[in-house]
Structure 1
């Protein structure tokens, strides 16, 4: 591709394929321009880099004493409190992803592209250089591994939505199930939970009706059971550690939230925590309680006598007492399983990340829809049947295999390990800032390039890659990559590779880029006009009279600065045409400042006023532009046609449509202006609002009738 063309009087100079060319107008035959640059290639030298800003996943050790972090393509071991922080993989040329600690504490499983594709590797926790490749799946991405409690099996899901289990001893893999419409977000958050005896695994996936259903797979019999019907969505299943119940979240609460603008409504906060008895003979988790008197059977003779008497009093002597199975065996009556579901006495809301410990159902409780901020880690006390709080202000958590400790995540990459008990405090953050890795930039860029190529190969919607020979594209752009000396250049090559697909919504961002220092700037919502030594106010930016959300600081009551007046100084510092007018407001964003102004370009007779600057003028100028367009339409149509500007089909565009439509729906027509639309959601709701036909009219004795909707 040709980039950055620049025309001169006799030719055009441009870049293509990493080289400069000149195209003379006279011959129209391009000539290569030889360029020699002298560089010490400082940015190619190996260097020690912090990894805590690149954390992508975290897991907890079985005893909760350490955590594993995936960060900058490596796996780090970080102590709960005391001890060393260690890079376990330390490689720039390969990427290690999604670590998982075996329940026996002996092995760490993770995905690595060391072989050229992501395969499952096993590493002994106490032996350097012990990593061994377990699988040879070939092309494709796979997600978080989940160990069985006996440390013999690992379950995972891949990018094709295939749920699989691999036998650690021999590497044999079986497919359990397959999702239908799971994108990267759902795949990355997909969880598998094993039964305590490692026989069953449970999970949720989507159905044809786009609801979520809970499934249980019997590994011994290789049989899949659908637990919930899918009439209601159900998710986040987990087995009770005592093998009696299956806990899950079910969306069965329907409490509409009505719009304050029109009659629209949604159903939010519908999640409820529920329990299912695995056996028909197991009492419901919410069975009525009954206080009983315990018999003290001290004397063996008395004990035998009471037992004998009880047996004689049995009415049905044909019933035989069967020995209970060993506690380690999980038994499930699949017949009527969903019928045994009970909903726990908790307020409906946004629940997730269910876990179970003895006597507790632990979960993440997010803010209700409409509220913002982090959620809380809570648990349901089974004996007392009440909710208790472990920790507020949490983004997520992981329960250790021994059910005693919790790794909690907070905003700004903060982590801590706490007890799985009530009223914990975030007192000892994990020392993630000590995670450092030695990187070889060229090797790292090569791996990133390979990842980008594989991601498009495996996820791009068209398996034919829009007709592009994707293997050839990799070969061609790999040669360009050999000459890069900065991350910016590496990103450029990767972007060119992706550009071969000629598709929208294919983005590239991030990396160790050179970032110049920036300074915030204050604004007062005016257009400046230079006039001799000083600037005068050419125009005060105004939206419509009703646009109170954004106004110029000079356009509020009590301030008499007007258009045509001169701004002479800011905080006593003269503002002259020798500098850009915004230079006087550097570092003064959203701050109180003193403005000196006058009707003439002189300080004698000048006035001062204190105003609060704006952080930016975007919204103010946007509202002013919309009002200008609406005014033109109204004047041209005698007020019969309304005007609505929709900047996108994202949240800002949605807000603008509803804001402007609600005030103008009664007009004879509407102009919907979506020029410069920068994308967003599929605009089904936009179209639905604009396509609403009246279904009925309200007729009243007094006043005017009105349509509905």
Structure 2
């Protein structure tokens, strides 16, 4: 092939024309959804209250509109319930219980087909079908360990700083806020649990002598560890002077009471881990609700006459309920003694359905 002289432009082959593309099909326009029309005329007369018969704390409706899902408290225990909304349903119009465990339930929601319910309990995702109510875990398990030694310092700092920057009175109702920090910071650094830290911060807030100030625990459905409770109370002086947990009280009907643990005995170990001065019972009983736990109980702090007691810890709500019932029973006995049996005693804990039911039983 003959090459052109240098400097002359070289010919380029003609570009092969591309085949013409067929015109794309026009996308079909989405149908305009029909607007929802609400007839507000006499809407109050068409209001219907569902006779669910339980103390509901949360509710949602299934995607198909046939079920109301509720988280409700019965006998101081939170569980899931459903109530039929379909007027043509063959199911009886009563609340149907889906779960029966002690842990707090949260974030409950239906599956897209309305046949199953997903929910959180003790930091775990569970699934319960409406048909057979057989709870199964979702194969995703995660537990988060928080460095409480660092967390408590940061929580205290944020609480103090927030009030420094936002309190309505620049003179802090006469309190020297910097001195308050210097006084309470070392105490907060010595807190062993979240509850202790919140009590210390509450004391600090009290220095402001102002209303509507407080600090509370995270919401019950937050992914915090569920702490098992034994139903024991300990001698503070023995713990502070010797680092020993001498039992001063066993709450009736709690795991420790059922295990025949007695006042005056010592808690030496939990699941083989020694209870020392630096031990944190909340950490040792985290995620232990309704699980097998072995307690080492002794007649003295040095471990004399040690024996093992197998228990299944209960939730904090269950322990508080037993404490309340003991308090009611003590008051009832006291009134009966003073009145020679002529007066009765009842107590209404709150205005929930469970409390009203208990009041009827006590009457």
* TM-score normalised to structure 1 length: 0.24
Structure 1 or 2: larger strand share?
1
* TM-score normalised to structure 2 length: 0.45
Q: RCO higher in 1 or 2 (8 Å CA, sep ≥ 6)?
A: 2
Structure 1 or 2: larger helix share?
2
- Rg larger for: 1
